[in-house]
Amino acid sequence: MAKEKKESLYQQIENYVINLIESGKLDHNSKIPSESELCGKFDASRMTVNKALTNLSNAGYIERIPGRGSFVKSFRVEKKIPEMISFSEELNRVGIVSTSKLLHYSVVNLTVFPEIARKLDVDPEELIHHFVRLRCGDGKPLAVSYNYVLVKVVPMLDINCLQKSFYGHLEDTLKLDLGYNDTVIQVVKPTEEMVKALGITGNSDVVKSSHVSYLSNNEPFEYTETFYNSKQYSFHYRCYKKQ
């Protein structure tokens, strides 16, 4: 029987830090043990610890900041503007597993939300599907979305589809031809519901992205407000000079 190869000291340090991260003992943006602490724990030289930390940095587990130490690397999702793309597609593009947790669902008359009736330019007597979802990436809360979808455009809605990609359901199952959305972006303070759902503090800012979505025939069908954890999301857009 072949003799099992013993881990080198720097590999033991790497695996120790990786275990702290994957077990949840160290969360995204948390500071990992200092070089001095790791030297003492493993009776290792600074050169050995530095090699381990360099390997962890190259592998994308940590970020080393001169003068501050090493931190668990936080993934950041980039939302490109003006591309109309679902939350699930955004995350899948960067290799993050997207999940959704349904917090609320109801069918109500738009008289309850008169401002949204005006945004959708419809009669306040129209019915809407109203649902709230916690959007997660790799199990971590990233955003809370509030959706208002016209029943006259989407008469039946299987709430099981809300655990996945809603836009995917509209295109693949209902065969709707999506066109575009008009988006407004603001930085706002979170509500108590958002603080609890996203696991942030009340002093944190969240990025609010609100949009009206249209079918390809210019018919509005949805209004959505999504509140993103600003530490995990960035918005990218390209501007062209008018010719």
User: For the sheet containing 127-137, what is the strand order?
Assistant: 98-109, 127-137, 140-150, 220-229, 206-215, 178-188
Rounded mean pLDDT of 195-204? 84
For 58, phi and psi rounded to 5 degrees? -65, -30
pLDDT at 241: 64
pLDDT at 136: 87
Classify residue 60 by burial, with Cβ atoms within 10 Å: 0-12, 13-18, 19+.
exposed
pLDDT at 161: 84
On the question of pLDDT at 82 being above 70, the answer is no
On the question of pLDDT at 142 being above 70, the answer is yes
Rounded mean pLDDT of 176-182? 89
Rounded mean pLDDT of 174-184? 89
pLDDT at 242: 60
Assessment of whether the complete model's pTM goes beyond 0.75: no
At the topology level, CATH places domain 9-72 in Arc Repressor Mutant, subunit A (1.10.10)
On the question of pLDDT at 81 being above 80, the answer is no
Cα distance between residue 58 and residue 77, in whole Å:
19
Cα distance between residue 213 and residue 149, in whole Å:
9
pLDDT-derived band at 96 (thresholds 50, 70, 90) equals: confident
Superfamily the domain 77-237 falls into:
Chorismate lyase-like (3.40.1410.10)
SS3 string of the chain? Answer: CCCCCCCCHHHHHHHHHHHHHHCCCCCCCCECCCHHHHHHHHCCCHHHHHHHHHHHHHCCCEEEECCCEEEECCCCEEEEECCCCCHHHHHHHCCCCEEEEEEEEEEEEHHHCHHHHHHHCCCCCCEEEEEEEEEEECCEEEEEEEEEEECCCCCCCCHHHHHCCHHHHHHHCCCCCEEEEEEEEEEECCCHHHHHHHCCCCCCCEEEEEEEEEECCCCEEEEEEEEEECCCEEEEECCCCCC
Break the chain into its structural domains and give their ranges.
9-72, 77-237
pLDDT over 70, % of the chain: 86
Cα distance between residue 157 and residue 161, in whole Å:
8
